[in-house]
Amino acid sequence: MRFKHYDNLRTFSLVARHDSFASAADELHLTKGAISHQMRQLENELGFAVFRRLPRGIVLTQRGQELLAASQSAFEAVEQQIDDLRRRQTRALTIGVTTYFASRWLSPRLMEFMQLHPDIRLRIQPMIDLADLRGEGVDLAIRWGDGAWKDVVIEPLFACPSWPSGNRAALKAVEDHGFEAAFESFTLLHDRDDSQAWPNWFSVAGLAFKKRTDTLIIPDPNVRVQAVIDGQGVALNDALVGSELASGALYRLSPIELSDYGYFLAYGVRGETNPDIEVFATWLKSCS
């Protein structure tokens, strides 16, 4: 026979916590007689006693203790689920990306996700430094590089090899002076001080990388692209600058590339309780 009176079970948990019908009645704004009636109704349905009535109070029976442990665990699980559902309703899923990736790859695809999952609210947070995800309130970030990061949990999104790009004058320097001599004269644009992208590329190209002073740190990828177009140096770019290549604003300076570079999903802590993170990550991977 199925159990029916779950409201009585909730009252039972409250009575057991107070060890008193009267105290439970005060909290529920009921009479002591009403609480006593509910407990009798509960025991009749269960087929066993949950309390022993004493001259001065009540104590749980053995079966009552076991029922209390089971019911408290169940109620706590339900309350936790309710809290999670409330948070999901009021809190957006925050995705950390550079403006470069957002405008060139993510934005044109977002409408599809919103149509597939209208119940998930997204917040796209432009970021330059994608290191402190938890501190920035980011649920999931998309990083560029070779994936060799220790500060976050990494999952490949898609490969996007990186290669040197420059403007028309830089291409002419390569054509006039040769590959190695031209690169010795170029100012190298980096995304951060500790970046290993250029040293990695020089190694793949079979060239010695010497520590140099003619470097320029430009963390924002879109600003870096414009700096290359303006002739401030050369940078490592990828296929997302396709429109600049097609227009002749940028040129690929070498066929040699960093084939293991690309875009990666970065989680502050994998296994977060918000299931929307996995939904969005799965969708991203289906688009790549």
Q: How much is the pLDDT for 132? A: 58
β-bridge mates for residue 122, sequence order: 93
The first and second tokens of residue 49, run together, are 């006693």
Decide if 1 is inside a domain. no
Q: What is the CATH number of the domain that holds 21?
A: 1.10.10.10
Residue 262: pLDDT band (50, 70, 90) is very high
Asked whether the CA dihedral 164, 169, 175, 177 is positive or negative, the reply is negative
Q: How much is the pLDDT for 160? A: 96
Domain boundary among 89, 122, 142: 89
Q: What is the CATH number of the domain that holds 212?
A: 3.40.190.10
Q: How much is the pLDDT for 87? A: 60
For residue range 124-161, what is the model confidence (pLDDT) as tens digits?
988 876 555 655 678 899 989 998 887 778 899 999 99
Among 35-39, 227-231, 232-236, the least confident range: 35-39
Among 5-9, 76-80, 176-180, 218-222, the least confident range: 76-80
Separation of CA 72 from chain center: 32
Those residues with Cβ within 8 angstroms of residue 232's Cβ, 6 or more apart along the chain or in another chain: 187, 189, 216
Q: SS3 for 41?
A: helix
**How many structural domains compose the chain?**
3
Residue 101: pLDDT band (50, 70, 90) is very high
Among 58-62, 70-74, 111-115, 212-216, the least confident range: 212-216
Q: Is the pLDDT of residue 38 over 60?
A: yes
Q: Which domain holds residue 235?
A: 163-259
φ, ψ (nearest 5 deg) of residue 123 = -130, 115
Residue 211: pLDDT band (50, 70, 90) is confident
